């Protein structure tokens, strides 16, 4: 009896649907090919938030710091007691939540930009130097990186806030501390493999000095990786900024930041949940979108980074 095409056990045949089968497989798991679709929704969300940040003065219906105590703790427009004047309601000082949200986006993005430039830049520089120069310099720098990984930088951020006072500068320095180590480590890895390449040897033969090689040859080739790292870390920075603001170590009031808004709204959660919960939705959406976008970008540009 000849055996002709028929599903064998290695095919993907719909199994008996049961919870047990989910965890106790009866057959060799099948293979699946995944196509990376362009993540439109995350891109849309990111665009909206960026627009909000850039055009805040034009978009926000009110000033974020004006207090109208008469209108305090109004619920969002779609709930009972809300009004169209304040689409997302007001907080305990009568400030419009929507306006504060919009200006908060500005603060978050600005801090993110500055911290990524500073922390990412430092990490990039250290990574290139450690990777290219090697030897004792590399050992020392990598020990520092290991140390940085061991200790939660948030603690140091808090310490900075207490000793140097709250403010944008302190915040940026603090968040940069979080970032530089992971940038340094990954970039160093890239540089190590780049160092072996012929064009570097050629440059050395031509008599280029080490700093020149690092700047003109190594740097352009790691920019790809750097950009991916930046996009992957935006989420980290946003949450770090929110956390520090929540803990009272970020930018001081009355500047609206999303983390601060949540902190202020916390006490009133029982009768005015929108004050605390709405900014959190914004943070979650932003970080989610940025992460999904970053993943997609990484898959497109450099799948080797999938370990991250």
Partner 1 sequence: MKGETVLEVRDLHTHFFLRRGVVKAVDGVSFSIRRGEVLGLVGESGCGKSLTALSLMRLLPKGGARTIKGEVLLGGENILECTPAEMREIRGRRISMVLQDPQTSLNPVFTIGDQLREAIQRRKRAPLVGTRRADMMKEAVAALRRVEIAAPEQRIGQYPHQMSGGMKQRVVGAIAISGEPGVLIADEPTTALDVTIQLQYLKLLKRLQAETGMAILFITHDFGVVGRMCDRVAVMYAGRIVECGPVRQIFEAPQHPYTRALIASVPKMTGAVGRLATIEGQPPSLMDLPAGCRFASRCTHVEQRCLDAYPGTVRVGDEHTADCWRVAPS
Partner 2 sequence: MKRYIARRLMQGAILLCMVATIVFFLGRLTGNPVDLMLPEDATPEDRAALTQTLGLDGPILDQFAIFVGKAVHGDLGMSIRMKQPAVEAFFDRLPNTLSLIPWAILLGMMLGIPLGVVAALHRGSFLDRAAGTVAVLGIAMPSFWLGILLIFVFSVELGWLPSGRMGGPAHYVLPVFTLATFLVAGFMRITRSAMLEVMESEFVKLARIKGLSEAVVIWKHCLRNALIPVLTLWGVFVGNLITGAIVTETVFAWPGIGRLTYEAVIYRDFPLLQAVIILKSILILSINLGVDILYAYVDPRIRVT
State yes or no: residue 269 binds partner 2 (CB under 8 A). yes
How would DSSP label each residue in 269-284? TTT-HHHHHHHHHHHH
Inter-residue contact 57 to 99 (CB < 8 Å):
no
Toward partner 1, which CB reaches closer, 14 or 205? Answer: 14
Cα–Cα distance between 308 and 233 in angstroms, integer? 11
State yes or no: residue 16 binds partner 1 (CB under 8 A). no
State yes or no: residue 152 binds partner 2 (CB under 8 A). yes
Binding residue (CB under 8 A) for partner 1 from 14, 17, 22, 26? 26
Cα–Cα distance between 30 and 197 in angstroms, integer? 39
Cα–Cα distance between 80 and 76 in angstroms, integer? 8
Toward partner 2, which CB reaches closer, 90 or 263? Answer: 263
- Contact flags string 30-59 toward partner 2, x per CB under 8 A: --xxx-------------------------
State yes or no: residue 2 binds partner 2 (CB under 8 A). no
Report the SS3 class of residue 96.
strand
Q: Which stretch binds partner 2 (CB under 8 A): 24-32, 87-95, 112-120, 214-222?
A: 24-32
Judged by beta carbon distances under 5 to 8 A according to partner kind, the member of partner 1, partner 2, none in contact with residue 296 is: none
Could you give the C-alpha distances from 308 to 186, 291, 299, 303, in angstroms and in order?
9, 12, 11, 10
Cis peptide before 254 (omega within 30 of 0): yes
Closest by CA position to 282, among listed 100, 115, 110: 100
How many other C-beta atoms lie within 10 A of the C-beta of residue 146? 11
Q: Number of residues interacting with partner 2: please give it, by CB under 8 A.
A: 51
| Residue pointed to by tokens 């000849």 | 2
Toward partner 1, which CB reaches closer, 2 or 23? Answer: 2
Toward partner 2, which CB reaches closer, 220 or 303? Answer: 303
Inter-residue contact 234 to 295 (CB < 8 Å):
no
DSSP 78: T
State yes or no: residue 28 binds partner 1 (CB under 8 A). yes
Binding residue (CB under 8 A) for partner 2 from 10, 13, 27, 140? 27
State yes or no: residue 10 binds partner 1 (CB under 8 A). yes
Could you give the C-alpha distances from 254 to 19, 56, 287, in angstroms and in order?
53, 16, 24
State yes or no: residue 30 binds partner 1 (CB under 8 A). yes
State yes or no: residue 18 binds partner 1 (CB under 8 A). no
Q: Which stretch binds partner 1 (CB under 8 A): 26-34, 125-133, 167-175, 272-280?
A: 26-34
Binding site for partner 2 (CB under 8 A): 22-29, 32-34, 147, 149-152, 154-156, 158-164, 235, 239, 242-243, 246-249, 259, 262, 266, 269-270, 273, 276-277, 279-280, 283-284, 287-288, 291-292, 306
């Amino acid at each position: 009896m000849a055996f002709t095409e028929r599903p064998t056990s290695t095919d993907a045949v719909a199994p008996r649907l049961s919870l047990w089968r989910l965890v106790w497989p009866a057959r060799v798991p099948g293979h699946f090919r995944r196509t990376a679709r362009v993540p439109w929704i995350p891109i849309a969300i990111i665009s909206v938030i960026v627009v909000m940040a850039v055009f805040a003065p034009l978009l926000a219906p009110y000033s974020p710091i004006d207090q109208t105590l008469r209108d305090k703790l109004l619920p969002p427009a779609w709930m009972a007691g809300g009004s169209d004047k304040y689409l997302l309601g007001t907080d305990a000082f009568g400030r419009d939540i929507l306006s504060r949200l919009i200006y908060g986006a500005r603060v978050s993005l600005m801090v993110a930009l500055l911290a990524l430039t500073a922390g990412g830049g430092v990490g990039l520089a250290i990574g290139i130097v450690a990777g290219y120069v090697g030897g004792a310099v590399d050992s020392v720098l990598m020990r520092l990186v290991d140390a940085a990984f061991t200790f939660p930088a948030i603690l140091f951020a808090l310490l900075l806030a207490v000793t140097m006072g709250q403010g944008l500068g302190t915040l940026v320095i603090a968040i940069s501390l979080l970032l530089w180590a992971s940038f340094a480590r990954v970039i160093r890895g890239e540089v190590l493999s780049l160092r072996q390449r012929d064009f570097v040897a050629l440059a050395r033969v031509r008599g280029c000095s080490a700093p020149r090689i690092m700047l003109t040859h190594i740097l352009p080739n790691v920019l790809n990786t750097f950009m991916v790292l930046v996009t992957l870390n935006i989420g980290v920075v946003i949450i770090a900024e929110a956390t520090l603001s929540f803990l009272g170590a970020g930018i001081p009031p009355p500047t609206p930041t999303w983390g601060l808004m949540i902190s202020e709204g916390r006490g009133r959660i029982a009768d005015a949940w929108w004050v605390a919960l709405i900014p959190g939705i914004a943070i979650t959406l932003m970080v989610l979108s940025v992460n999904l976008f970053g993943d997609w970008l990484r898959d497109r540009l450099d799948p080797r980074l999938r370990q991250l």
